[in-house]
Every structure is written in C-alpha cells, then in structure tokens.
C-alpha cells in the first residue's frame, strides 16, 4: 500500500517500506503532527497549510534525531517529502491524501 499526497499540481508518496519513518514518531510528544498523520494515514486526511508548516519543522527535528542511528536510512524519505510539505505551506494549499 502507498500513501499518496497531492496539492496543486504536486504529488508525493510514502511507500509501505518507507513507513518506518514513523517508528520514532509513534506517541512521541515531540512530534504531534507527525503522530496525527500516522494515526490518520489510511483515513485519507486533508492537511491544511498551517499543519504542513508544523510537519516541516517536525521533519527537520526528526531528521536530526535519527542521524547516526540505526534509523538514519529514513533521512532519504524525509529529504524527499519535506519540500512537498514546505511548498504546500508556501502556496497556502491544502494537501489531499489517498491510500491504496
């Protein structure tokens, strides 16, 4: 299963094998928006621009946290999806999500 995200003409995806991105996020109070996204992953959530901005900042913090750990491979996923969320915030675009 994949988790597809869209805004304007942009598209991003979190593949099933990339969901390990959420391992350090699960119920972690440092990442409330990413934890929310994890909980809503397969409920086709809509993400308002303000929440996209918070997600960007949480992804930055998460990237720093996992660098040098056994989860450092998730930085590739973070680096790929972070610009998508940032652009949604800059364009004030709502992200629509769909899952397989």
Q: Is 3 helix (H, G, I), strand (E, B) or coil?
A: strand
pLDDT band at 3 (very low <50, low <70, confident <90, very high): confident
* pLDDT over threshold 80, residue 1: no
Would you kindly state where each structural domain of the chain is located, as residue ranges? 2-99
Distance, in Å, from the CA atom of 23 to the CA atom of 66, rounded to the nearest integer, reads 10
What pTM was computed for the model? 0.92
Q: What is the DSSP letter of 97?
A: E
């Amino acid at each position: 299963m994949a988790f597809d995200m869209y805004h304007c003409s942009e598209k991003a995806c979190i593949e099933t094998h990339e969901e390990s991105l959420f391992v350090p996020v699960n119920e972690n109070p440092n990442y409330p928006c990413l934890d929310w996204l994890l909980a809503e992953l397969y409920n086709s959530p809509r993400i308002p621009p303000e929440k996209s901005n918070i997600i960007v900042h949480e992804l930055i913090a998460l990237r720093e946290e996992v660098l040098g750990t056994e989860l450092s491979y998730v930085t590739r996923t973070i680096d790929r999806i972070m610009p998508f969320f940032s652009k949604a915030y800059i364009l004030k675009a709502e992200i629509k999500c769909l899952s397989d």
